[in-house]
Amino acid sequence: MKPTMALKPLAFALAALMAVAAHATPPGGNNNNNNNAPTVLSVTANDNQNSSGNGTFNDKTESNASTTDSINHNTGVSSGIVQSGTGNQGKHDVAIGASDDADQVFATINTTQNSSGNLVGNFGNTSNASLTNSNNSNSGVSLVTVQAGTGNQSSQGVAIASSDDGKSGGATVNALQNSSGNLTLNVTTGHGWNKSPVVNNSSLTNSGNYNSGVSGTVSQAGNGNQAALGVSISRF
């Protein structure tokens, strides 16, 4: 056998080995798998409430709203809104996201409330809103809003982002409220001993007890009130 013939198989083997090594290790010695962009889980709840340019006149108007023995012993997400009156706004937002392998997790709540240029005239009217024996013994997320009156705004938001293998994350709550240029007239009607005043009542009785997790309750009475409750949670 000629020596040149004996060297050919070895040359082919070395060439193949060098080709594999060049493909596995790019210039600079970095592995392509280490250059992958991080995976991101983002959960956001947005709420925008606007009440502007409204004219409301209530003349001895009676408005009643009540909830009794409700929103109890729930698991997961439970929500209730009780309102009486005129032009009230209530909203509940719940956003939940989960991932097994997201590198970064973010939870965000954005709430904007605007009340401007409204005219309200109440003449001897009554508004009542009540919550009794309710929103108790819940597990998870439970939200309740009780409002009586005119032009009240309430927003409750919950955002939860979770990753078993997360490396970093953030939780943010943003709220912007504006109330400007509004005029409210509360006038008693009648004469002598037979007068009817303006009455707005919002009440909670034996409510909001023994809950676990996230529990929020808003109670408002009157005119033009604004309330924003935000809970943002990131777990990694």
- In this predicted model, what pLDDT tens digit does every residue of 179-208 receive, in sequence order? 999 999 999 998 888 889 999 999 999 999
Backbone angles phi, psi at 194, to 5 degrees: -105, 60
- Measure the CA–CA gap between 43 and 47, rounded to whole angstroms: 14
Task: Evaluate whether residue 207 is within a structural domain.
Answer: yes
Q: Is 15 contained in some domain?
A: no
Give the C-alpha separation, 126 to 105, whole Å.
48
Residue 95 lies in a domain: yes
Asked if residue 172 is part of any domain, the answer here is yes
Q: Print the domain residue range for 208.
A: 40-235
How does pLDDT run across 117-160, given as a tens digit for each residue?
A: 999 999 999 999 999 999 999 999 999 999 999 999 999 999 99
Residue 75 lies in a domain: yes
Which pLDDT belongs to residue 115? 96
| Residue 125 lies inside a defined structural domain of this protein | yes
Q: Which helix (H) or strand (E) holds 173?
A: strand 168-180
Which DSSP helix (H) or strand (E) runs through 8?
Answer: helix 3-24
Kindly state whether residue 47 falls inside one of the protein's structural domains: yes
What pLDDT, on the 0 to 100 scale, is given for residue 8? 55
CA distance 216 to 208: 8
By the 8 A CB rule, do 124 and 58 touch? no
In a domain, 12, yes or no: no
Can you tell me the distance from the alpha carbon of 216 to that of 227, in angstroms, rounded to the nearest whole number? Answer: 11
Instruction: Give the pLDDT of residue 36.
Output: 80
Residue 71, phi then psi, degrees to nearest 5: 55, 50
Count: domains in the chain: 1
Query: pTM for the full model?
Result: 0.80
Model confidence over 68-119: pLDDT tens digits?
999 999 999 999 999 999 999 999 999 999 999 999 999 999 999 999 999 9
